[in-house]
Amino acid sequence: MRHRFFGWFGPKPALQLAIVIGVVAYVIVLGSNIAATMARIGVTPGFEFLERAANFEIGENMIGFRAGDSYARAIAAGLLNTAKIAVLGCCLATVLGVALGIMRLSGNLMLSGLVRWYVEIVRNTPLLLQLFFWTALAHALPPPRRAITAFEGVFLSNRGVSVPGVIISNLSVGTALASTIVFGGWFWLVWRGWRVKRVGLLAPLPVSFLSIVSLGIVLAASRASISIELPAISGFNFRGGFSLTPEFAALLVGLTVKFSAIIAEIVRAGLLSVRPEQWDAALALGLHRGNVIRLVVLPQALRVITPLTTSSYLDLIKDSSLAVAIGYPDVMNIVNTAANTTGQAFEALLIVVLLYLGLNLTVSASMNLYNSRVALRGEGAA
């Protein structure tokens, strides 16, 4: 019995058991010291502060937070800001990174050389320095009355980026649910048609047209309306449309640029991992080089690209906490403010750790599920 008990600890069981006991004792002593210190300075340990009113404003939030709302609502607003920048950053970095990775393998020496310099410069420059650069550039833009007009209804100024916004009026919960079901159903048909047939009724363009028509019918039947609102100058700022603050725009551009360079190298390595015979066979069938990459090489390279890209996504989410340096109200910034105003530093630290852990585990689980499907499909094809 004694042999079986110590066998669970592997070799040198006494030493490992002593280490475990020492770690547990250290945690107990550390916890008691923290509790004693908090009691001495008059701070009651616990999470009751989440129900107290926060005495600060959040300039950019998605849930309409105002001073006087609870700290829990403030942290929720920061979490949504972090999730927003994470989703947009991952999507834009992936699109730009895939394009750069393919251009890096281009036969055009000038194009591939420019991409190589871009990748090397961006990858070897600290992200914080890049964020400072983009923030300074955003604030150096002209004021709203002399804003740069990139496209019709798109303005760049020191107040941020103003673009046309979609206004939906008289939209009920039932209509929103029905619209989501209709659009989701047509999107599933597009996905199935793209994966299975690629031609015929399930081709993307006809189904996309039918989805728009169906969505219009649902909205018209419920008397809801959709309109496009263009931003217009009113006083010293823009009114209407959709605006991105300079801090949000700088953070999004910085994360996109930084991680697009990393993903570009991942894509390049993944494409080069496919055997040259695959390229030769596809070219021998008369496929264009673009179709060779899209239809033959990239599906096989995904088995190499996906795990490394998952790590890049996780790094992007964690590095978004650098927003505190440029004033964007992400979850790290707001939790830090809550810790300073309430004195509950340990609880605030635990909250931010759990929130980032939850975000990263969610992304990791989603990407692992996708990676398992890619790997199974690749093995089946082999």
Residue 113 has pLDDT above 60, yes or no: yes
14 shares a domain with 119? no
Q: What is the pLDDT of residue 198?
A: 47
Task: Pick the more confident residue, 67 or 235.
Answer: 67
User: Do residues 123 and 262 touch, judged by C-beta distance below 8 A?
Assistant: yes
361 shares a domain with 265? yes
User: pLDDT digit string (tens) for 311-340?
Assistant: 999 999 999 999 888 888 888 989 888 888
Task: Pick the more confident residue, 201 or 270.
Answer: 270
Q: What is the pLDDT of residue 197?
A: 46
Task: Pick the more confident residue, 69 or 170.
Answer: 69
Q: Could you tell me if residue 283 is inside a domain? A: yes
Q: Could you tell me if residue 30 is inside a domain? A: yes
Listed ranges 8-22, 26-40, 262-276; the one with the highest mean pLDDT:
262-276
- CA separation for the pair 183, 188 (Å, rounded): 9
Residue 222 has pLDDT above 70, yes or no: no
Instruction: List b or e across 166-197, with b for residues whose CB sees 16 or more CB atoms inside 10 angstroms.
Output: eeeeeeeeebeebbeebeeebeebbeebeeee
Q: Could you tell me if residue 91 is inside a domain? A: yes
Q: What is the pLDDT of residue 141?
A: 83
Reported as a pLDDT band with limits 50, 70 and 90, residue 70 is confident
290 CB-contact burial (10 Å; exposed 0-12 / middle 13-18 / buried 19+): exposed
The contacts of residue 342 (CB under 8 Å, 6+ apart) are 49, 52, 71, 348
Range with the poorest average pLDDT among 233-242, 268-277, 340-349 = 233-242
Mean pLDDT, range 21-38, rounded to an integer: 83
Mean pLDDT, range 129-158, rounded to an integer: 83
Longest dimension (CA), the chain: 83
Q: What is the pLDDT of residue 202?
A: 46
Reported as a pLDDT band with limits 50, 70 and 90, residue 357 is very high
256 shares a domain with 376? yes
Task: Pick the more confident residue, 129 or 184.
Answer: 129
CB atoms within 10 A of CB 106: 14
- Any idea which residue has 């039932």 for tokens? 174
Task: Pick the more confident residue, 80 or 64.
Answer: 80
Q: Could you tell me if residue 322 is inside a domain? A: yes
Q: What is the pLDDT of residue 186?
A: 58
283 shares a domain with 340? yes
100 shares a domain with 11? no
Measured in Å, how far apart are the chain's first and last C-alpha atoms? Answer: 50
User: What predicted TM-score, i.e. pTM, was given to this entire model?
Assistant: 0.75
Reported as a pLDDT band with limits 50, 70 and 90, residue 216 is low
Q: What is the pLDDT of residue 378?
A: 45
User: Do residues 282 and 296 touch, judged by C-beta distance below 8 A?
Assistant: yes
CATH code for position 95: 1.10.3720.10
13 shares a domain with 113? no
Domain count, the chain: 2
98 shares a domain with 10? no
Query: How far from 4 is each of 12, 14, 60, CA to CA, in Å?
Result: 13, 13, 59
What percentage of the chain exceeds 70 in pLDDT? 75
Q: Which of 82, 80, 91, 84 is nearest to 309 (CA)?
A: 91
Q: Could you tell me if residue 176 is inside a domain? A: no
120 shares a domain with 7? no
Residue 311's domain comprises: 71-134+250-381
373 shares a domain with 267? yes
Q: Could you tell me if residue 119 is inside a domain? A: yes
Residue 377 has pLDDT above 60, yes or no: no
Q: Could you tell me if residue 178 is inside a domain? A: no
Instruction: List b or e across 209-218, with b for residues whose CB sees 16 or more CB atoms inside 10 angstroms.
Output: eebeebbeeb
368 shares a domain with 270? yes
User: pLDDT digit string (tens) for 244-286?
Assistant: 788 888 999 999 999 999 999 999 988 888 888 887 787 788 7
Listed ranges 33-47, 78-92, 104-118; the one with the highest mean pLDDT:
78-92
Task: Pick the more confident residue, 12 or 24.
Answer: 24
Residue 39 has pLDDT above 90, yes or no: no
254 shares a domain with 353? yes
Q: Could you tell me if residue 53 is inside a domain? A: no
95 shares a domain with 12? no
Task: Pick the more confident residue, 126 or 233.
Answer: 126
User: Do residues 132 and 328 touch, judged by C-beta distance below 8 A?
Assistant: no
